[in-house]
Amino acid sequence: AQSVTQLDSHVSVSEGTPVLLRCNYSSSYSPSLFWYVQHPNKGLQLLLKYTSAATLVKGINGFEAEFKKSETSFHLTKPSAHMSDAAEYFCVVTFPLDTGRRALTFGSGTRLQVQP
Amino acid sequence: DAGVTQSPTHLIKTRGQQVTLRCSPKSGHDTVSWYQQALGQGPQFIFQYYEEEERQRGNFPDRFSGHQFPNYSSELNVNALLLGDSALYLCASSLDDRPDNEQFFGPGTRLTVL
């Protein structure tokens, strides 16, 4: 079985300060990991993904995440928050290709608020 | 490219009724997955269609069924609706069924069961 835990349901930061959204995963396999963002009334959008290449992954809009196998973590960071970053963020894990299993497993989400 | 489109955007049904939701994938994509997102929760995988076949199914009852057409569009059918089926239903498309491919999501259909 595999699962993903987002450690904070809500995070509030001031504009221009760093963002840290925490994610821990559990998987019997070497996982692929993703971060998706969901803005109100818009579809989920991929921020970045890790698929066993470089452990530090850079995504869109200045976000990046580091895969740490020893800590089973995949935390999302951004050096400086912008008002437009306010949204719901989901950490996602999936099985490796050779398992034949295709489902994405989503965390429960972290709502990021950005204060002016 | 219109991306992934879903219809209708909103739907209100009563318990016991049946509903059909529709999805058109992003141009060039042949794989469609459906997810249910209850209020305040992350999306839950319902099933995935590839080459007009259901390739994998999540932990949902048989009341949830689907179909993929030759043009890769897809339908999600839910029979005997329950109050607990109220949710945002998301369709996602991808280029083939590799699990590490990016899935592109539509805006969803908001289903309310009264």
User: What's the gap in Å between the CA of B65 and the closest CA on chain A?
Assistant: 16
User: Hey, what amino acid is at B113?
Assistant: V
Give bridge partners of residue A38 from the DSSP assignment.
A88
pLDDT score recorded for residue A13: 97
Q: Which residues contact A100 (CB under 8 A, 6 or more apart)?
A: none
> Is A67 in contact with A51 (CB distance < 8 Å)?
no
E strands within chain B?
Answer: 5-7, 10-13, 19-24, 31-37, 44-50, 53-57, 64-68, 74-78, 87-94, 104-105, 109-113
Residues from chain B contacting residue A103 (CB–CB below 8 Å): 33, 45, 48, 56, 58, 99
Question: Residues of A with CB below 8 A from B106's CB?
Answer: 43
Q: Note whether B71 and B79 are within 8 A (CB).
A: no
Q: In what order do the strands lie in the sheet with B64-68?
A: B5-7, B19-24, B74-78, B64-68
pLDDT in 10s for each residue of chain B, 114 residues: 679 999 999 999 999 999 999 999 999 999 999 999 999 899 999 999 998 999 889 999 999 999 999 999 999 999 999 999 999 999 999 987 777 778 899 999 999 999
User: Given this model, what pLDDT does residue A100 score?
Assistant: 67
Burial of A50 (0-12, 13-18, 19+ CB in 10 A): buried
Between A and B, how many residue pairs show a Cβ–Cβ distance under 8 A? 66
User: What tokens appear for B33 in the block?
Assistant: 């997955």
DSSP A100: T
CB pair distance less than 8 Å for B99 and A107: no
Residue A98: predicted pLDDT: 66
Residues 6+ apart with CB under 8 A from A2: A25, A26, A27, A28, A29, A31, A93, A95, A105
Q: What does the pLDDT read at residue B1?
A: 67
With an 8 Å Cβ cutoff, the interface of chain A facing chain B consists of: 32, 36, 41-46, 49, 51, 90, 94-97, 101-109
pLDDT in tens, chain A (116 residues): 678 999 999 999 999 999 999 999 987 777 889 999 999 878 899 999 998 778 899 999 999 999 998 999 999 999 999 999 999 999 998 876 666 667 888 999 999 999 99
